[in-house]
Amino acid sequence: MKTELRVLFFSPIAWMVLVVFAFQLGVGYCDRLSDGLRSLAMGYSLYNATASLIGGYRGVFSEMLNNLYLYIPLLTMGLMSRELSSGSIKLLYSSPVSNLQIIVGKYLSVVVYGVILVAVLLIPLIFSVIIVKSADIQFMFTALLGVFITICTYAAIGLFMSTITKYQVVAAIGTLAILAILNFIGNVGQDIDFVRDLTYWLSISGRSKIFLEGMICSRDIIYFLLVIFMFLAFAFIKLQGERLKSSTLKTVGSYLIVFVFVLVGGYISSRPVMIVYYDATATKLNTLTKNSQEIVKKIDGGLTLTTYVNLLDDTWYHASPSSKNYDMDRFERYVRFKPDMKIEYVYYYGPGTSSHYDKVYKGLGPKERMLKVCEGYDYNPDMFISAEEVQKVEDISAENGRIVRVFKRENGQKAYLRIYNDMYVHPFESEITAALKTLVDKSPLIAFVTGHGERACDDFGDRGYAAFAKNPTFRNALINQGFRVQDLTLEQPVPDNVDVLVISDMKVPFTPEEFVNYSSFVDKGGNLIILGEVKRQKNMNPIVEKLGLHFADGILVAPSKQYLDDVIAARITEGALKASPYFAQLIQRGYTVITPSACAIEIIDSTKGFEISEVLATNSQGSWIEYETTDFINEKSTINDKIGEVERSNSVMLYLTRFIKDKPQQRIFVIGDSDCLSTKELSTSRAGLNGANFNLVTEMFRSLSYDEYPIETERVRPPDNNLYISQGALVWIKILFVWLIPLGIMGYSIVFLIRRKRR
């Protein structure tokens, strides 16, 4: 090994690589440092500054890792090619040195060089520890491990390629070719299960990225060790075959034995029950939150996740056979804590949402369309079953042919998980955990009262409530956050399994029988949301008067130059914190809730036993209850104190709580507007108004479910959010990292090589 190190460092190439490596490292590090300082100068705090500088997908280590393939082949191309071209290999064969010693010695020389490269990487790492507030040291060394193990792997590949040719350039190109193959082989044979699993495991692409994210996984470490072993073994077999004049058949057989051994080892180490994880990040960013972990632990027995994928739907490509392994990776955090979870895929054809296929294959049935698509994409038609066959196993007719996943326990319990029409498409931890939670805990039942012209939970029109209640393609819809939703008539008593009753915009009042059933639900401690509306006060006042409240006559106005007078940007008050502490963030950021055509809420009886808190209110100036103006499109409202119009703050939303014996706390929200939760309002953005209407929906139902749903997966922000240097110091840092360090290495290399030449 000492001889190899001398040869390596007596060559200008090794020094040149070191200088270029240091220069590139300095430029990349200073660029990221500049970005961080710029953000701080603009008044922003940094998020996970350690990852931004060092690891992650944009840190300097990530850039250096992507460029390693440029350096390592230059170092390894002469390891054996030099011996072969000069004829000195014969001297090695005639010496008492074994082939194993030759391979190990030459390999270790490059590993030592890799240690030197890592030492160069330590410079910005140590500097970051000094300048970053609460720097995540474990994370940085994990990223460093990822770079080092990649260097070792590339070195093994380069050494093998050097044994098969006497031309150094060919060895370097061959190393690049092998690295390219290992990077792209993961895309080969993705439509065939066995081939896909094989090529996906062989792929080196992204293997080291997990280290840069602060995660150490035994599967990936073993992968690198097996690949290193495989190429070193190949190099040994090549030398052994030449030294002993072995037959081609025997040599090929040896290669196959090593290859099969590596595949078997890789298969075993990739089984979920065999994988060991360590999250090196300070706040465990790569691990499920404690809440999710507790829910997964409650799921005893078998659990199967089946994904139903429709070839004829626009969502097909999100879980097509070529995307299957990548799709399965989305659930790895859950498999980590439940390694016996099975993940299956069912590919079928049936009516979907693809307007393209409806146009191109107009007049053809689902099966004929499937055959046409299979012909175009070279799929095997036998891998698809019909939608009718799927229905015999699982009723997914309500999903309209879109991708849907079904969690199923051994006891038959099921939960549905969908993909969504937003920029992220796939479910986050909150949606996945919400689905799992419904398998082990009660899912709150939200009942929307019907029969009086109320807003319907399945109405997708502008005034309907389907957007937040039952829209399967909307991530934050109640049905995607663990709630059950249904319509309900009050002609019969409210069932005991109803957790929350929603009453809105009643065009006609309750009948006496309905009022009795409503009153019984309230008296038993049931939770409610009551949404009033202008011109509906008469119909709805009886139900809120039972709570000691009253919907005031008239309409709230807040005249402005930009919007109609009845568009109220209701401010969130401190009383909202009693309903949910998350309102504090909205208050801090200056958010409001937009309530068009709202009526005020008055407290008329405080003896009902409720503690009443104000959640939303109008501003004390520029707002009042308007009694005269009704046409806000053509007229502007003006305050008329003669008829009782008074400029003041009025309540738009109240939160009522009380305790009833042997019952959990009763919680009721009363809002003076039904439009604020409508599909139109939730999808409307108004310039100059920071509306938080959907946040209101989320926090109301969080409170009404006693913080059980939606699932809380918010993480502690990483503490490394600041830098201890100023913008002015960047000039000196650039001089150090971009110029002094590389030039210092260059100067030392020149002196070293000159002295060596003189000797």
Note the pLDDT of residue 232. Answer: 96
In angstroms, the CA 607 to CA 125 distance is: 65
Residues 6+ apart with CB under 8 A from 245: none
Each residue's pLDDT tens digit, 507-531: 999 999 999 999 999 999 999 999 9
- Across the strands, what pairs with 617? 571, 651
Show Cβ contacts of residue 640 under 8 Å, excluding neighbours closer than 6 positions.
627, 628
Q: Which has the minimum average pLDDT: 16-20, 99-103, 244-248, 252-256?
A: 244-248
Class of domain 442-553+578-617+650-704: alpha beta
Q: What is the mean pLDDT of residues 664-688?
A: 93
Tokens representing 513 are 């029988």
**For 531-541, how does the pLDDT look when each residue is reduced to its tens digit (9 = 90+)?**
999 999 999 99
| End-to-end CA separation in angstroms for the chain | 21
Domain ranges of the chain: 2-282+727-758, 290-418, 442-553+578-617+650-704
CA 372 to chain centre: 35
Is pLDDT above 90 for 481?
A: yes
CB proximity list for 723: less than 8 A, separation 6 or greater: 33, 36, 37, 40, 46, 49, 131, 132, 133
- Count other C-beta atoms under 10 Å from residue 110's C-beta: 25
Tell me how far apart the alpha carbons of residues 179 and 185 are, in angstroms, rounded to a whole number.
10
Give me the pLDDT at residue 374, please.
92
**pLDDT of the residue at 1:** 66
pLDDT class of 445 with cuts at 50, 70, 90:
very high
| pLDDT score of 759 | 67
CA trace torsion 591, 596, 597, 602 (10° rounding): -20
Distance CA 79, CA 239 (A): 13
The token duo for 216 is 């150490």
The pLDDT of residue 325 is 87
pLDDT tens digits for 617-641?
999 999 999 998 777 888 888 888 8
Whether residue 610 has pLDDT greater than 90: yes
- CATH fold, domain 290-418, is Glutaredoxin (3.40.30)
What count of other Cβ atoms lies within 10 Å of the Cβ of residue 629? 18
Measured distance CA(135)–CA(129) in Å, rounded: 5
Topology match between the domains 290-418 and 442-553+578-617+650-704? no
- The more confident residue out of 339 and 82 is 339
Looking at the predicted structure, is the pLDDT value of residue 155 above 90? yes
CA dist 320 and 318 (Å) reads: 6
Angle subtended by helix axes 99-131 and 68-76, to nearest 10: 150
3-state percent helix, strand, coil for the chain, nearest multiple of 5: 50, 15, 35
Residue-averaged pLDDT of the chain: 92
State the average pLDDT over residues 449-468.
94
Instruction: Supply the pLDDT for residue 117.
Output: 96
Which of 216, 337, 330, 220 lies closest to 281 in space, CA to CA?
216
Collapsed DSSP state (helix, strand, coil) of residue 571 = strand
Q: What is the pLDDT of residues 273-332, one digit of tens each?
A: 999 999 999 999 999 999 999 999 999 999 999 999 999 999 999 999 888 888 999 999
pLDDT on residue 548: 95
680 or 3: whose pLDDT is higher? 680
Q: Are 443 and 483 in contact (CB under 8 A)?
A: yes
705-723 pLDDT, tens digit per residue, is 999 999 999 898 999 999 9
DSSP E strand stretches across 410-526:
414-418, 445-449, 484-488, 500-504
Q: For the segment 240-250, what is each residue's pLDDT rounded down to a tens digit?
A: 988 888 888 99
Buried b (16+ CB within 10 A) or exposed e, 482-504: bbbbeebebeeebeeebbbbbbb
